[in-house]
Amino acid sequence: MIKSYSLPTKNILDLLIDTAKINPGHVLFIENKSEITRKEFIEKILKVKGGLKKYGLKKGDRVLSLLDNSYEEITLFLACITSGIIWIPLGSERKGVGLKHIIQLTKPKKIFSKILKPKNLPKNFFKKIFKINKNLKNLELEKNLFNILDLDELSCIIFTSGTTGPPKGVMVSQKMLLASAYATGIAADINKKDKLLLWESLHHIGGLEIIILALLKNIKIIITKKFSSTNFWSIVRKYKISKLHYLGGILDILLKLKKNKYDKKHDIKLGFGAGARPDVVTKFKKRFNIKLREVYGMTEASSFTTINFDLKNNSIGKALPWLDVKIEKNNNNSMDNIGEIIVNEKIKGLLTKGYYNDKKATKELLQSDGLHTGDVAKQDKKGNFFYIGRENDSVRVRGENISAWEIETTLNKKDFISESAILKIKAEIGENDMIALIIPKSNILNVKQIMNNCKKDLSKNYFPRYWCLTDKFPRTPSLRIDKKNINIFKFKLFDQIKDKFINIK
């Protein structure tokens, strides 16, 4: 548990300059075979800041990044936010109506890309493209020290995938970025000898906070373009990675890999992150000898809200000391200690000011009693929180709100189930029916056998009407199951009431 705390007060450029002076030769990043020292890094950033000024970018302008994880993207990110230029990271794979919506909403002055005419970008936006060269050679100019001093000013707009409707842009300040990095260091028990693998996309706050953490602490970051289960363990062993940042999805993927005698041969001392089911925590520790520390948080509240310092079973931990966290019971939950997680700040500026150009969503998020997370949890007498699920990820069955998370957790404990997703559909009579989509671990059992094997573990209202096997799920950028992009109408479902396969229309 944190006995005392002192959140960073320096802005990011001053932090960069100071750390480069103190330890200029320290290798900060490794990408492929290239090593970048702190001195080289700050020199590059200052030159790129000069280039941004040359091309007419100034404080308050918005720029959008279609870049993947790379030294170039990290440099551009820090050059922009330390010049007061608002950074909007999306990555190269964003496409369709979501991408068009974000561009129309934010109206960026420039769009950074490694391709002059990206296939996923509507042609009418090509004129905004700024094609960057390798190592940003076409953006280097005379050093520019111009700095944004107010930590509370808008620094980034980070778009969340959301569960319904178009993506929403969380307004993030430098203070929020610094607080998220500081909390990352606490959750990971960071020390100066640590090496971390940057696998998470930089259009997610989980990736950005690792970069800022490297500036705060004397650690080393290994840059990878994206998460790859094929190469993961070879990179971990080659670079002697000591701390693992995870999201629930990657743990499931790593557990699916074929077991081998090297599973425990690595230098990872601790895994920290969110979304690990209780059974996964146990399996991961047994197979890889890595203990996992669960945290909870969201981009809107500086990424970290609680940390499970005591590694208490099934818990997301206790609230960080600079935030006030409470459970607000609603009328849909019969148990007194279950309700929505509401967050308030004890230090001004740690909560977002809202969603960019979206007053309706901001009003729903920021209410008079605090930031409404939309997540349901319970709290014990010692202050430990236990995550239940998303408030809108529930199904109304026979007058009762059923938690999809509770059913999925029950199903995922089965030896023959790899992953599951519970979805809802309008019932023929009444409220909702549930659909259970299952990724089986093998083809030994058919859908009816799997359904029957699960009956004894779920009460009547909690037992889905429809069942279907699938081989994969769509994923969010953080590798969680992306339910809103699952098209249930393409599946042939087994109707347990009618005892036959049907197509839902």
pLDDT digits (tens, 9 = 90+) for 1-45: 565 677 888 899 888 888 889 889 999 999 998 999 999 999 999
- Report phi then psi at 457, rounded to 5: -100, -5
Cα(215)–Cα(220) distance, rounded to whole angstroms? 10
62, pLDDT greater than 60: yes
Q: Residue 240: CB partners within 8 Å, gap ≥ 6?
A: 195, 267
Domain 395-503 classified CATH 3.30.300.30?
Answer: yes
**pLDDT tens, position by position, 189-239:** 999 899 999 999 899 999 999 999 999 998 999 999 989 999 999 999 999
Task: Tell me which H or E stretch contains 449.
Answer: helix 447-454
Q: Give the β-pairing of 370-379 and 338-345.
A: antiparallel
Q: What is the mean pLDDT of residues 56-76?
A: 96
Q: How confident is the model at residue 334 (pLDDT cuts 50, 70, 90)?
A: very low
> Which residues fall within 8 angstroms of residue 120, CB to CB, at 6 or more apart?
92, 93, 94, 95, 96, 99
3-state helix, strand, coil in the chain (%, to 5): 30, 30, 40
* Number of C-beta neighbours around residue 248 at 10 A: 19
pLDDT higher for 145 or 136? 136
Give the integer Cα–Cα distance in Å for 38 and 42. Answer: 6
**Residue with structure tokens 């599946």?**
491
- The mean per-residue pLDDT over the stretch 427-437 comes to 82
Q: What is the average pLDDT score of the chain?
A: 89
Could you tell me where the beta strands, DSSP code E, fall in 101-224?
110-113, 129-131, 154-160, 168-173, 195-198, 220-223
Specify the DSSP class assigned to residue 118: -
pLDDT tens digits for range 234-272:
999 999 999 999 987 788 889 989 999 999 999 999 999
Q: What's residue 363's pLDDT?
A: 96
Check residue 397 and give its pLDDT: 73
Closest CA to 87 of 17, 19, 12, 37: 12
Is there a contact between 395 and 424 (Cβ–Cβ < 8 Å)?
Answer: yes
Identify the band that residue 86 occupies on the pLDDT scale cut at 50, 70 and 90: very high
Please classify residue 369 by burial: count the beta carbons closer than 10 Å to its beta carbon, then call 0-12 exposed, 13-18 middle and 19+ buried. Answer: exposed
Q: 12-379 maps to which CATH number?
A: 3.40.50.12780
Ramachandran region, residue 417 (left: φ > 0; alpha: ψ -120 to 50; beta: rest) = beta
Q: What is the pLDDT of residue 195?
A: 97
- Range(s) within the chain of domains with CATH label 3.30.300.30: 395-503
Residue intervals in the chain for CATH 3.40.50.12780: 12-379
pLDDT digits (tens, 9 = 90+) for 402-411: 778 778 888 9
The closest of 241, 247, 204 to 221, measured between CA atoms, is 241
Q: Do the beta carbons of residue 458 and residue 417 sit within 8 Å?
A: no
Q: Residue 364 pLDDT more than 80? A: yes
The two tokens of residue 473 are 């799920």
Tell me how far CA of residue 479 lies from CA of 274, 390, 392, in angstroms.
Answer: 11, 17, 20
